Chain A
């Protein structure tokens, strides 16, 4: 392509000025935009509203495409099963998931028993979901791992609520619009979840890697206690995620911890449940109406 000729607009003052002004606008806007992005600790309210509006635009189309095609993420799985051994492979995989789910349930129950024996006043948290929905779509072009949830403020979804699937933790609600909300997935680089090993309660932190895996780091750096197959559940520390939600299974040891894979793959879950955040207010509010036979003591220590 030949070089455009009219870059230097001759003697016309007006044309020269308009070109100059265009460059001034562009450079000023670019600098302002980058500053806004870098200093986005103060996320302006107007832009948040715009983003909610854009999600409300995208969500109806995503609902339609999802109902027509199903979730695309399952495609690789189906093809793999067909090539390998067809139905047998799929059945075995389903059994494995089922067994793993049971294993998680029992191991966390054992731990719970141990703690209950120790602390008689410990209260079982209410696992009833606030609302149920499904994941519509996600930001698949950027390095942020955000998904759109099909329900919003219309069903009481608010920012900061944990989201889980049948297999385990999915993430937490980042912002909620009138009929859709945005979920920060477990695997996002900026998402840190306090966990503990289901077998013995060893505390650790799970940090997303951004590519579908999690980094697990222990809080004490004496030695690396993890081994492949360890199952991690939420610990309830920090007060956002309720305890005993399955999170991940350790795949490999690393220098400073372990590499783990989430138990719930957001691309394959059908329905997800939005839970109440695990804060002292909510725990007490749930404890009061519960008809416990024993005399309810005045609040947890």
Chain B
């Protein structure tokens, strides 16, 4: 047998299976700080959070429930929020996804969309309130509403992208 070449039906390498999801979330978290965009309001959707939620909706059992701690810390470093915001909120979101996957027997596309949109809205609203504790809450929430709407509309795209990455992650050699 040719040892150099790929063997038929061999599963993907363990490293690729583990690194691809984490790497996509980390890159998506860091990307907004690498674009030459000086924004006057939160205009970009939270890319890292969207990938994080979509991976968990697609593969609920892939990550332990505490994966939000390190990934959230990474996101906090780049997002400008007070450190600890995403650490807490992302972990609570992943607990919510694990809980919903127990409650809903056959989760379909529209379930996924609704869960992701709801969680993005809650996480972004709470993060804004934590970042501006001394400002009027109504005004602060008004700031993030456009971003939440854009994010909710983009969820199907991110689910598709996550699916593509998942195909690459599990592709047999």
Contacts and interface: CB of A to CB of B under 8 A. Distances in A.
A297 interface: no
Interface stretch (A88-96, A122-130, A145-153, A222-230): A145-153
A292 interface: no
A146 B37 CA distance: 11
Nearest to A55: B33
Interface string A1-19: 1111011000000000000
Given A57-B30, A142-B127, A189 B44 contact: no
Contacts of A137: 32-38
A178 B45 CA distance: 30
A37 B30 contact: no
A220 interface: no
A136 B33 CA distance: 9
Interface in B63-114: 64-66, 68-69, 72-73, 77-89, 91-92, 94-95, 101-102, 104-108, 112
A70 interface: yes
B95 A27 contact: yes
A73 B78 CA distance: 20
B108 to A, nearest CB: 8
B133 interface: yes
A54 B38 contact: no
A271 interface: no
Contacts of B30: 54, 57-58
B66 A22 contact: yes
A109 interface: no
Contact of A136 (B36, B68, B72): B36
Interface stretch (B2-10, B17-25, B139-147, B164-172): B139-147
A51 interface: yes
Interface string A44-64: 100100110111011001100
Contacts of A7: 102
Contacts of A65: 34-36
A25 interface: yes
A66 B33 contact: no
A47 B91 CA distance: 19
State the majority secondary structure of interface residues on A: mixed
Contact of A22 (B57, B64, B78): B64
Contact of A26 (B68, B104, B127, B130): B68
Interface residues of B, number: 66
Contacts of B58: 1
Interface stretch (A113-121, A195-203, A204-212, A232-240): A204-212
A138 interface: yes
A288 interface: no
B131 A143 contact: yes
A164 B81 CA distance: 24
B81 A72 contact: no
Given A34-B88, A36-B87, A143-B140, A26 B95 contact: yes
B83 to A, nearest CB: 5
Nearest to B79: A142
Contacts of A140: 32, 35, 37, 39, 42-44
A70 B57 CA distance: 37
Given A33-B72, A54-B78, A26 B88 contact: no
Given A33-B73, A212-B41, 17 more contacts: A4-B101, A33-B85, A37-B81, A37-B130, A62-B35, A65-B35, A72-B37, A140-B37, A140-B44, A141-B47, A142-B128, A143-B42, A145-B40, A189-B132, A190-B135, A210-B143, A267-B37
11 contacts: A26-B65, A31-B88, A32-B84, A37-B130, A53-B77, A137-B37, A141-B47, A142-B128, A190-B132, A211-B40, A267-B37
Interface of A: 1-4, 6-7, 22-23, 25-27, 29-38, 40, 43-44, 47, 50-51, 53-55, 57-58, 61-62, 65-66, 69-73, 135-148, 187, 189-190, 209-212, 265-267
The 8 closest A-B pairs by CB, nearest first: A33-B87, A139-B80, A212-B40, A36-B84, A34-B88, A37-B84, A66-B36, A33-B88
